[in-house]
Structure 1
Amino acid sequence: MASKSMRMSAEERRESVIRAAVVEFAERGYNGTSTQAIASRVGVSQPYLFRLFPSKRALFEAAVLRCIGEIKQRFLEAAEGKRGQEALDAMGDAYFGLVTDRSHLLLQLQMYVSTAAAENAGDAEVGETVRELWTDLWDSVAAASGCEPHEVTDFFAHGMLINVLVAMGFPVEHRLWAGFERPC
């Protein structure tokens, strides 16, 4: 039996729920994931889950925020002290560490599909949140690199190609993008 000091705080439990939500939403998407599956993965009841997160949408948004937040953090850390192509190259290299985490990669892909599905079902707020986070990420890359909008767009387009190919099973070091040079 665990002692009282071994119990998780609400914040620790919240973190474990977000980690579980990332995995569940990555595997099943927004519509295909039940809050019961997330609660079961963490070992809590659904009522407790809803004390931590008021709705399934809030939980999805927390998982998406975590995913995009990690990308942004890695990009900004990698670009620190660099400008232009050097900054983009450093951010691209840092990104490879994230796409090797299958749940992180699949959650990114699920964000797009889940946003469309939620909006088709009448829940526009999911899409608004995802678009705001992506706009902030794009703006952060532009500011950190100092590159022109078309160059930042090329950077993200290349990243999306990598996402799709890695999700299809191509290795991160595959020749399809190994020699790609981005202008800046």
Structure 2
Amino acid sequence: MVRMSAEERRESVIRAAMIEFARGGYKGTSTESIAKRVGVSQPYLFRLFPGKEAIFLAAAQRCCERTTEVFRAASDGLEGEAALHAMGTAYQALIADDPDVLLMQMQMYVAVASAEAGGDREFGETLRACWMEMYDTARLALGADVSDTTHFLAYGMLINVLVSMGFQPDHRVWAGF
């Protein structure tokens, strides 16, 4: 049996946390369920991360990084309309291939709203910084055009809502895409 390093184990915790938080949300996910999915004890989990919030933030950051990388790779060497279509197609493929990415994004929005309603602005600042990296990547691919970026992300959010609500690709709500 090959032993994992602490960094490899940390990566497996982040992957497991994305799945657990995507499906259960911040409040509905226990660190016990994450530890169980990884195959470690809770005390070991807390040697890797200082607490549940740190695990959630690492999972959320990974989710944003993954989406940002999809935008970056899809738009590489392209500009304007070609970049827009490539990023849109790549994003649709990402959330179709790994629905937990979409669900994790949705849970991030809920978690930020909940934390800030309770007075915790730092939590939201961390996640907004991740989201801004996605925004800036799309904006640069679209020639730094704020209007095009806004439209691209607005369509993306509509796609998120439609997919998360279970609208099938042949439903009439998809007619404009």
1:109 equivalent in alignment to 2:106: yes
> TM-score, length-normalised on structure 2?
0.93
Say yes or no: does 1:123 pair with 2:126: no
Q: Number of paired residues?
A: 176
- Residues 18-167 of structure 1 aligned to structure 2 (within 5 Å): 18-100=14-96, 101-167=98-164
RMSD: 1.5
Runs of 4+ in 1 over 4 A off after TM superposition: 172-175
- Of all paired residues, the percent bearing the same amino acid is 57
Partners in 2 of 1:178 and 1:160 — Cα distance? 16
Q: Distance in 2 between matches of 1:40 and 1:123?
A: 29
Q: Which residues of structure 1 form unaligned runs of 5+?
A: none
1:122 counterpart SS class:
coil
Can you give the 5+ residue segments of structure 2 that lack an aligned partner in the other structure?
none
Q: 1:137-172: per-residue Cα shift (whole Å, max 9, x none)?
A: 111111122052111001000000001101111235
* Larger CA deviation: 83-92 vs 171-180: 171-180
Aligned partners of 1:123, 1:28: CA distance in 2, in Å? Answer: 21
Q: What amino acid sits opposite 1:121 in the alignment?
A: G
